Chain A
Amino acid sequence: MQNSIHLKIADFSIKLYSDISIELEEGYLPFVSEDEKGVDDVTIHCFSGIPAIDLQKAELVFEAKNEIQKFYSIFRSDTGLGFIIYNQQTKDEVQQIAFLDETFSQWEVYSNPSSESSRLPLKYPLGPIVMHYLTVKSNSVMIHASCVFDGKTGRIFTGFSGNGKSTISKLWADAGNRIINDDRIIIRKIEDNYMAFNTPMYYIDKPKSTVLNAIFLISHSPENKMKKISGALAVSKVMAFCIQNNFESKLIQNHLDFLSELCIHIPVYELGFVPDASVVNFILANETGRTK
């Protein structure tokens, strides 16, 4: 019997199918949805066992790696993209091989039977990769950012790792506001509004969203200071913190188009902040031109 799981992430419909029993890591569980109306945005067919396909002979177009280990490699073929996903616990061991069709709508995911991913097909890093390619085809972006909602206004705080994304969201939470997420956000345009959605993390948190009213590029500073920026500078600075695989012109152009529109409608500020409660009132006192 075929198993299936339906997820709703950032209002996208994601359907997983498998001939074997599959599960989700706990962070995904609150995103399981019974509402299966409408067309799925992406389907993921999961298999146990890695087929004898030599992707190394295809064109290598992108590698996500650091000095220590590889995360994934992307190959281009006539029918779409091929991914080699590496196990993050056991360096360089292939965790999964995955194929994404050229419409970015159908995945085939083959997991190493000895890997935990055989039971948990969205095991990191495949889950975020699936979400990223969903945003690429859907006029939206995924960004490294925290996001808070004060009951009327949604604010995103983005910056380099260590610049205080979690710190500032906690300061807003301490002031009575709601954290949407403190690490990874999907931004979509829905009707006339830009919306910010949380995504599944390694911990349990229910699906949340807010209308987006302002974006802050944050850094630590000896004093609170903020400056509104616009035009190419704003677009390029926001884009720098978006999750992207820049090997194909079309994908980059989609991101640039979306972000150029976003930065016309949503004010972008550079914010240097002191990591204490004063930054909340400082922002409230100094925001200008915020979208209603």
Chain B
Amino acid sequence: MDLQKLYALKSKFVVRVVGNELILVPLTGNVAQMNELFTMNETGKFIWENLGEKTTIENLETLVTEAFDVDADTAKKDIENFIKKLETIL
């Protein structure tokens, strides 16, 4: 899934920050889906908040590297995990 598609889906969630974490609740029209809530850790929260209309993977890698003082490989893995997690939600 590309980042633009993920950005477009941001409006389908209601979010709440709890400490350094994020809760995502999908807007749904079906009672069977209403228990599907998700949490993001600090890194996931950061990526979610920095996911903009024109964000690229490279932009995010740079931002994560700077914000969390990690190397590029670690940042890349964090972003891959974030995308994988969102794909399980969507």
Contacts and interface: CB of A to CB of B under 8 A. Distances in A.
B22 interface: yes
A232 B22 contact: yes
A20 interface: no
Interface string A52-93: 000000001111111000010000000000000000000000
A178 to B, nearest CB: 29
Contacts of A239: 23, 25, 37
A246 B30 CA distance: 8
A62 B18 CA distance: 28
B29 A61 contact: yes
7 shortest interchain CB distances as A-B pairs: A232-B21, A64-B31, A256-B16, A252-B14, A232-B39, A232-B18, A236-B37
Contact of B29 (A60, A241, A256, A263): A60
Nearest to A74: B29
B22 to A, nearest CB: 7
A246 B27 contact: yes
B35 interface: yes
Nearest to B22: A232
Contacts of A150: none
B32 interface: yes
Contacts of B25: 239, 246, 252, 256
B5 to A, nearest CB: 21
Interface of A: 60-66, 71, 231-233, 235-236, 239-241, 244-249, 252-253, 256-257, 260, 263
A239 B40 CA distance: 16
| Chain B at the A interface: SS class | strand
Contacts of B37: 236, 239-240
B70 interface: no
Contacts of A246: 14, 25-28, 33-34
18 contacts: A60-B29, A62-B28, A63-B30, A64-B31, A232-B21, A233-B39, A235-B23, A236-B23, A240-B37, A241-B35, A245-B31, A246-B28, A247-B27, A247-B29, A248-B27, A252-B25, A252-B27, A256-B14
A66 B32 contact: yes
Contacts, number: 70
Interface string B40-84: 100000000000000000000000000000000000000000000
A256 B31 contact: no
Given A62-B31, A233-B21, A248-B27, 18 more contacts: A60-B29, A62-B28, A65-B30, A66-B32, A232-B18, A236-B39, A239-B23, A239-B37, A241-B35, A246-B25, A246-B27, A246-B34, A247-B27, A249-B27, A252-B14, A252-B25, A256-B16, A256-B25
B16 A260 contact: yes
Contact of A235 (B16, B33, B40): B16
Contacts of A60: 29
